[in-house]
Amino acid sequence: MDDLTRKQFLAASGATAGALWAANAMGVPGFGSPDQAMAAGKAFDPVVPPGDPTLPQIADKLMHNNWYIPVEPLAEDEIRVSFMGTAFVPRIAQAANSVFIEVGSGQSFVFDLGMGTLTKYQAMGVPYTRMQHLFITHLHADHMSDLTALYCFGPPHGRVTPMHVYGPSGPKLNGAVYDKEGTEAFCEALYAMCAWHREAFSFLPTDLKPTTENPNPGGGYDIVAHEFDYRAEGADAIAYQDDDVTITHFPAAHDRDGSVSYKLEFKGQSVVFSGDTKPTTWLPKYSKGVDVLIHEMALTPQTWVEHQSDLYPGDDGYSTNLAGSMEVQANSHTPEKGFGQIMAKCEPRLGVITHCHFNQDCFIPAMDAVRKQYDGPLAWAIDGMVINLRPGQDIKQRMSLMPDFAWDLMIAQYSSDELEPAKYKGPFAQYSDYTMEHIPAEWKKWPADNAE
């Protein structure tokens, strides 16, 4: 690739960002208008036929015009990284934080699952049965709150094996140990909180039968917590490992002790997800030369105040709000300059900005600040961005076509003979006589009996 000056890069990136924004904002009938995308810049050139074509009719053409169609097959040595949430406070175009990583040997992994992210998984054609291994960087709501919905509705949608949650232990602060604030305690609380939901759905079979090969299979409403010491590093910091994939963790610095970053390695390739963190020495130590470094970035405190409060220097309340934003960032996040410095130290094949509100008026100033520190390959993630990488090949970056009205996917992985019988038989097994007295007779029949 020819070298670009910073000015040329910003001009090109501005056009690309506009196309990204237009592509993500478009809706009816779900694939968007090619005229809008083309007007914003030719970075994606979708070439969608006129009218309202079906997905199979346009899939082949779009796949060769820089769009990602859920769900393409992967090569045996390929990694796909899908951005399902790229902000911190959810909004229509950007949910809270989540990254979905799939590898060519068949495994898939969820990194964080904040507010609103499940809608993006649904639109990207990812069933709950493929969201079985979840890696949580820390227990802020914008990184874990959609676990509730995933846990509750996974079993009715076919996930009849336990949900595995990996994450850090509670903080150890100057002699004090907060062991009730780690991943294991969180999972216990989630299980307890969902007792009514779990019992209410017990008219469905959600558990596997034991077999000789698997005498204790567990059930869909079981949660297996894999808690590790957040301070561990190196050989002591393996969160997950199988024949193909290794996922390690290392400490992060976010608000208080107890946050981590993750590194996934597969067939000589590596992806790091920082989670939320201030600049640390851990990031360069464990991310130097990785293929993809996904790192949070905070826009300036002034930008936060102007967009969140519509206040400007001299307005009443501006100084108070600015002080609060500066406090949050000083305690919690990596500013634009710090992001650029981290990238310059790590030198990834591709750096990715996430956990950051994307607005067109913020793009150029933010990139200008980053480019004063770092001039390597860089992307700004928004929801639906997809990255593919293979050994010895260029990294491919695309936007996904996400239907606005995607149906939830129900995947039956096991036959009825392989499942334990439901705890309750029939739709009224958990109604009291009092409630049954208030249901008209015609609606006490099975639903099939009322079909027109």
336-346 and 360-371 are packed helices; what angle lies between their axes, rounded to 10 degrees?
50
CATH 3.40.50.300 fits 70-298+333-416, yes or no: no
Structure tokens of 356?
Answer: 């950051």
The CA-based diameter of the chain, rounded to the nearest angstrom, is 77
Q: Are strands 292-296 and 350-354 parallel, antiparallel or unpaired?
A: parallel
Q: What is the pTM of this model?
A: 0.85
Rounded Cα distance between 431 and 131, Å, is: 32
Strand pairing partners for 219? 207
pLDDT along the chain (452 residues), means of 10: 38 37 30 35 35 45 62 93 96 96 97 97 94 97 97 95 97 91 98 97 93 92 97 96 98 96 98 97 97 97 93 95 93 95 97 93 91 94 95 93 88 89 88 95 71 52
Residues whose CB falls within 8 Å of the CB of residue 313, separated by 6 or more in sequence, listed in order: none
Any idea what DSSP says for residue 417? G
Confidence (pLDDT) at 7: 37
Confidence (pLDDT) at 66: 66
Cβ atoms within 10 Å of 189's Cβ, excluding its own: 11
Rounded Cα distance between 278 and 209, Å, is: 47
Confidence (pLDDT) at 444: 84
Rounded Cα distance between 349 and 68, Å, is: 21
Any idea what DSSP says for residue 235? G
Segments making up each domain of the chain, as ranges: 70-298+333-416
Please work out, in degrees rounded to the nearest 5, the angle formed at the alpha carbon of residue 337 by the alpha carbons of 333 and 338: 45
Indicate the SS3 state at residue 403.
coil
Confidence (pLDDT) at 381: 94
Confidence (pLDDT) at 174: 87
User: Which of 220, 216, 209, 215 shows the shortest CA–CA distance to 417?
Assistant: 209
